[in-house]
Structure 1
Amino acid sequence: MHDPRIDQLADVLLDHSCQLQKGEKILIEAIDLPEPNLVCSLVEGAAARGAIPLVTIKDQNVQRSLYRTATKESMDLAAKFEKARMEEMNAYIGIRGAANSSQHADVDQPQMDLYQEYWSQVVHTLIRVPKTKWVVLRYPTDSFAQAAKMSSRAFEDFYFKVCTADYAAMAEAQKPLVARMEAADQVRIVGPGTELEFSIKDIPVIPCNGDRNIPDGEVFTAPVRDSINGKISFNTQSRYQGTVFSDIVFEFKDGKIVNASANEPEKINAILDSDDGARYCGEWSLGTNNHVKHPMLDTLFDEKIGGSFHLTPGQAYEIADNGNRSRIHWDLVLIQRPDYGGGEVYFDGELLRKDGRFVPDDLQGLNIGLNEGP
């Protein structure tokens, strides 16, 4: 039986996220989906809008084999054809199912570096992100529900509720936060194991409300590249390149991560040594989606958690550019609600957020729903 929520989600992706127009070409890329219902709805919906859909289906088992056997020549060849295709597109929707989210855990770091530098960066960082109307999302699977510590049925209900949120209302609530971030210079963050300072002066501020990620809910900018000093202790696990990292602690001096520790110290330092920009940060963002309360080892959800922020070693986005360039972009999340240890964020000495709740009167709309539900 067809679930009508699939069609509702497809409409959000086509109309709100991609704003798809007649005659435009759209690439729908699906990875490890358990069934094709959403892809079919997107194809039929794109065609009904007079657009031209193209579909590619990928399997993470096959991708693992490609990464494990990667050479510069093989990654160059893959990028050549995917680059040519992406350059033809006006829009892109990426749907990831991931039957096994740790599928790439045994791919050696040098091989992943080859993929990142010669394939991913060429196709996605240099073409898809700056030159198409794009959106990426996960798909509800049993393994996804397990990571969220929920039954499959309960997770499915949660997933569709969060992914089809009122993004127009979210955009309105974010406006005063955007104004405050644009006016701010010095940011100070304190919490358990954390005392961090940096500048965001003159870096563009970008509100995210359903036009690039589903689910969405964040306002991001970037630290001035050499301005970060202090220590940060992340309290949220992160799965990156197939490995689950926890207890991540960074020490910064003049923007650079000079000391990094975690449960996998060798792996985390290997990632941070990928290139010259990997130990500098390219993004800082405040999470504003209060429907998402707890981490589930999935960055697209975890980075939006109400009362959280994330800090990102690696590549800066061109639309909020601090000049940092890297083949990695790793969003790491710290939740500051009381149930995760609390904490404070200050802008130029003024308390902006305490224990996950925004303090100024003009930001109270961003607190709605923060203390509701599980």
Structure 2
Amino acid sequence: MDERVREHAEVLVDWSARVEAGDDVVVSVAEDAHELGVAVAAVLGERGANVTTLYGSDELSRAYLKGVEARVEGEAGEDGTGEGEIDGGDAAVDAADFDADPAVDRAIFEAADAYLRIGGGRNVTATADVERATRQAYAKARQGVREARMDTDWVSTVHPTRSLAQQAGMAYEEYQEFVYDAVLRDWEALADEMAKMKDILDDGGEVRIVTERDDAPDTDVRMSIAGRTAVNSAASVAYDSHNLPSGEVFTAPYDTAGEVFFDVPMTIDATRVRNVHLVFEDGEVVDFAAEAGEDALANVLNTDPGARRLGELGIGMNRGIDRFTDSILFDEKMGDTVHLAVGRAYDACLPEGESGNESAVHVDMITDVSADSRMEVDGEVVQRNGTFRWEGGFEA
């Protein structure tokens, strides 16, 4: 076994999930993540934890959901209500077609202290031919399971696989190097650095992001952050952080005004989306455009009223991530980037008793701020052209 796989497992168990002896840990392992799954199981055994393993297969999920579509289509044909048109017809799948309270799955997570999800499937678009309405209905029906899972000390990571390398446009060995550069960090040192950004945001009232480029539309957007608490997302549940790798500081903005151009390509609902332009007034998206994938963007923004408002402002600070890979797990953490997410706000950023922006979606969009840009907090420049004010080379 590559020694880096063992190191990845140790970081996941010890730094990220903070597993202790006697903890009940659920581990979900994707199809091609077996090697990391084995390493994680060994480390958990050495730490004295109890382990339950799940098979996290997108191909199995696709088979199940396509089976539900076929059943609903058949039932519609039998009772004469329609021709079985899954997408938008009388036979569209909804949450009632699934068990509203999948007690077995929920019980597993209710009994768990920690949940470790190890991604790395065979096909990054395995569920691309499952209707969007079906996937949404399934997610809605499993809300109770999701809430039980989120109540654990959960962490999500990925094993470098050939399918992910292909998605990133890299050779397999090159992609392995990329992943381990992002994961095998001095997380304590990075947490200390990111704490500087957290303190600035916690003390601030308004953030302004500006980009001025000859080859792209300008960004000039303001948002309030007063009363919010920023999260130092240092890849550990001890920091309210649940992704490995991580390396961002994020908060929950509101009262957004202005316009922003997102120049980093992304995949939304299995659709390539590129060069997104959003215009905000009174906290809400009032106009939008995209060079590619505009229909997918529209579907997101039309999900519910909260989908047109921001739920997150995130500042990437992991410079072990040095290129875009079409994976939000990595891309939003990349140094010299800022991302905004429309939709749901995270509770960790909100005052006790405040719900923040509510939505069924949370979709991140990223802009490169490595050049011709600045970020201000209460009128003071805290980052210019990707360099923070505490770093060498910063120009006020």
TM-score (norm 1): 0.89
| Distance (Å, rounded) in 2 between the aligned partners of 1:252 and 1:80 | 42
* Unaligned stretches of 5+ residues in structure 1: 369-374
Change (3 A) 1:308 1:75: farther
- Number of the residue aligned with 2:323: 294
Q: Which amino acid aligns with 2:152?
A: T
- Number of the residue aligned with 1:128: 149
1:70-92 per-residue CA deviation (whole Å, 9 max, x = no partner) reads 54244435744322211111101
Stretch of structure 1 that moved more, 279-288 or 317-326: 317-326
The one of 144, 165, 170 equivalent to 1:145 is: 165
Q: Does 1:98 align with 2:97?
A: no
The one of 179, 184, 209 equivalent to 1:189 is: 209
Q: 1:1-374 maps to which residues of 2 (within 5 A)?
A: 2-33=1-32, 35-68=33-66, 69=69, 70-76=93-99, 79-119=102-142, 121-124=143-146, 126-129=147-150, 131-191=151-211, 192-211=217-236, 212-224=242-254, 227-262=255-290, 263-321=292-350, 323-338=356-371, 342-358=372-388, 360=389, 363-364=390-391
Query: Quick check: 2:100–2:141 contact (8 Å CA) kept in 1?
Result: no
- Number of the residue aligned with 1:372: none
| Distance (Å, rounded) in 2 between the aligned partners of 1:157 and 1:186 | 38
1:321-362 per-residue CA deviation (whole Å, 9 max, x = no partner) reads 361111211111111113xxx32111111111111111x2xx
Query: Quick check: 1:109–1:270 contact (8 Å CA) kept in 2?
Result: no
1:281-323 per-residue CA deviation (whole Å, 9 max, x = no partner) reads 1111110001112210000100011011111111111111361
- 3-state SS of 1:236 partner: coil
| Distance (Å, rounded) in 1 between the aligned partners of 2:122 and 2:261 | 30
- 3-state SS of 1:247 partner: strand
| Distance (Å, rounded) in 2 between the aligned partners of 1:181 and 1:310 | 15
| Distance (Å, rounded) in 1 between the aligned partners of 2:264 and 2:179 | 20
Q: Which amino acid aligns with 2:149?
A: R
Query: Quick check: 2:268–2:297 contact (8 Å CA) kept in 1?
Result: no
| Distance (Å, rounded) in 2 between the aligned partners of 1:310 and 1:67 | 32
1:49-72 per-residue CA deviation (whole Å, 9 max, x = no partner) reads 111111101321221233442542
Q: Which amino acid aligns with 1:25?
A: D
State the 1:177 CA deviation: 1.3
| Distance (Å, rounded) in 1 between the aligned partners of 2:183 and 2:43 | 18
Change (3 A) 1:139 1:332: same
* Unaligned stretches of 5+ residues in structure 2: 70-92, 212-216, 237-241
- 3-state SS of 1:84 partner: helix
Q: Which amino acid aligns with 2:367?
A: L
TM-score (norm 2): 0.84
| Distance (Å, rounded) in 1 between the aligned partners of 2:262 and 2:224 | 20
Alpha-carbon RMSD across the aligned residues, in angstroms, is: 1.9
Identity of aligned residues (%): 28
Change (3 A) 1:78 1:138: farther
Query: Quick check: 2:273–2:296 contact (8 Å CA) kept in 1?
Result: no
